[in-house]
Structure 1
Amino acid sequence: MRSLLAALLFTLSLAAPAMAGESVEIKTLEEGASSPPASVDELAWLVGHWKGSGLGGQSEEFIAPPLDGQMIGAFRQTKADGSLWFYEFYQIVEDQGSLVMRIKHFNPDLTGWEEKDDYVAFRLVETSENAVYFDGLTFKMTGPDEMRAAVVLEGDKTASFIYNRVSP
């Protein structure tokens, strides 16, 4: 399923390549390696409403505070012409003493990309004071109200995002 998502995003992003020089490091979890211990409380810095650019259009994230071992979020992506492209709904959840980010993707009419009970999962690789590295997906604070994100699309292709906090 992850390769299907990567192929879809790669195809969609051909007209909007990642911004050169604007990406953050993306880390991967070695095959067979375990994710390190972590809690969603360590990611409270992600909370807020974020707007920015990525994939050649406008990107927007809404991330709720930790509650009962989970954080939830929503992502909205527009095309360069301002029309809605797709949505993501996700959770960052404590799982076996570590963290997993689970994402479901939707078209503007809310038809899903993944099957009904499926989602794309990104296992935790590492956390730091201002960054979280999931396997193929990174969020990193680069200023008091600036965040950058990057995700692996296919092979060595990546998409980069630059966000500014609209509200906490």
Structure 2
Amino acid sequence: MHLFTNSRFRALRRLASFSLVVFCSFLMAPTVFAQKGSLSDVAFMEGRWRGTFNGGPIDAAWAAPEGDNLPGFMRMMKDNKVTMYEMLIFEQTEQGPIVLVKHFKPGLIGSEEKDQSDRYSFIEAKKNQALFEKSDGQVRIIYEKRSDNQLVIQRGKKEGGKWAFVDLFVFNRVK
């Protein structure tokens, strides 16, 4: 009497194959799914930067990461008058860094409700580049240091099922 018939052997082989796939998935999971990111992924932004936007200068400054945060600031001007201020705070969370953004009109009048801010979650990072997605999933932002003296912020929207990015702000380092 055979302990294993052909059908039992095939079932046992399928179970072994399935078990091997599951086991390998667990081994690979930490490298594939664990990219939470940290503030060190955006530390390249530190410094003072200047560019042009909408016919006027735009200034930006970011402090070095310290503790659980990295604060930043932007000032947009036209015809020698401020058109908007923007506060950007990168905060470290257990899920990775987030970006909190508040906009202010001249006179420091908030654009968002006082207890609200735009919120972006970390997606991934490469050397001198970090990708974040707005909480509504409609916008992605890439922060990229293209050289020691150039920092670019790109804005992405989905077009035809793919993300399309354009340079939103191009900054040069202020020395």
What TM-score do you get using the length of structure 2 for normalisation?
A: 0.68
Residue identity opposite 2:154 in structure 1: A
Give a deviation string over 1:2-56, Cα, whole Å, max 9, x none: xxxxxxxxxxxxxxxxxxxxxxxxxxxxxxxx99311102322110010012233
155-164 or 120-129: which moved more? 155-164
Give the conservation status (yes or no) of the 8 Å contact 1:99–1:124: yes
The number of residue pairs the alignment matches comes to 133
Which ranges of structure 2 fall in alignment gaps of 5 or more residues? 1-32, 134-139
**Structure whose residues are more often strand by fraction:** 2
Q: Does residue 163 in structure 1 map to residue 171 in structure 2?
A: yes
Residues 117-136 of structure 1 aligned to structure 2 (within 5 Å): 117-135=115-133, 136=140
Say if 1:35 and 1:84 are closer, same or farther in 2 by CA, change over 3 A.
farther
Aligned position for 1:42: 41
Give the conservation status (yes or no) of the 8 Å contact 2:71–2:88: yes
Q: CA deviation at 1:161?
A: 1.2
Aligned position for 1:144: 148
Task: Give the Cα–Cα distance (whole angstroms) in 1 for the partners of residues 45 and 157 of structure 2.
Answer: 22
Among 98, 114, 134, the residue aligned to 1:100:
98
Identity %: 24
Say if 1:153 and 1:82 are closer, same or farther in 2 by CA, change over 3 A.
farther
**Structure whose residues are more often helix by fraction:** 2
Residue identity opposite 2:146 in structure 1: T
Give the conservation status (yes or no) of the 8 Å contact 1:50–1:165: yes
Aligned position for 1:63: 62
Say if 1:149 and 1:157 are closer, same or farther in 2 by CA, change over 3 A.
closer
Q: CA deviation at 1:157?
A: 9.2
Aligned position for 1:72: 71
Residue identity opposite 1:147 in structure 2: L
Give a deviation string over 1:72-124, Cα, whole Å, max 9, x none: 01111112x23210001121011123111001110110010011110000111
Task: Give the Cα–Cα distance (whole angstroms) in 2 for the partners of residues 42 and 158 of structure 1.
Answer: 21
Task: Give the Cα–Cα distance (whole angstroms) in 2 for the partners of residues 73 and 158 of structure 1.
Answer: 21
Q: CA deviation at 1:160?
A: 1.4
Q: After the TM superposition, list the runs of 4 or more consecutive aligned residues in structure 1 that deviate by more than 3 angstroms.
A: 152-159
Give the conservation status (yes or no) of the 8 Å contact 1:137–1:149: yes
Which ranges of structure 1 fall in alignment gaps of 5 or more residues? 1-33
Structure number with bigger Rg: 2
SS in structure 2 of the partner of residue 101 of structure 1: strand
Give the conservation status (yes or no) of the 8 Å contact 2:47–2:63: yes
The root-mean-square deviation of aligned C-alpha atoms, in Å, is: 2.4
Give the conservation status (yes or no) of the 8 Å contact 1:35–1:124: no
Give the conservation status (yes or no) of the 8 Å contact 2:99–2:121: yes
Task: Give the Cα–Cα distance (whole angstroms) in 1 for the partners of residues 92 and 112 of structure 2.
Answer: 22
Give the conservation status (yes or no) of the 8 Å contact 2:41–2:128: no
